[in-house]
Amino acid sequence: MPKQKTHRGAAKRFKVSARGKVLRRHSEHTHILTKKSTKRKRKLRKATKVAAAFENAIKQMLHR
């Protein structure tokens, strides 16, 4: 049986941390930034955890 291929779309969007948590980036941080506060933009920079409902599906796509 051939090797399983990683879902390339998921691989570009998600990362699995050392402890097994799935991380994602925030939306709303690419354009029209002038009306957004500095605090809001700073918080959008950091990654956040994926909702528990989607975690297993994403791990399966990444073969983790």
Pick from 8, 18, 13: nearest CA to 50 = 13
Helix (H, G, I), strand (E, B) or coil at 16: strand
Q: How sure is the predictor about 60, in pLDDT bands with cuts at 50, 70 and 90? A: very high
Q: Specify the pLDDT at position 1.
A: 87
* Predicted confidence (pLDDT) per residue in 21-47, tens digit: 999 999 999 999 999 999 999 999 999
Q: What number of residues does the chain have?
A: 64
What are the structural domain ranges in the chain?
8-62
* Predicted confidence (pLDDT) per residue in 45-58, tens digit: 999 999 999 999 99
CATH 4.10.410.60 fits domain 8-62: yes
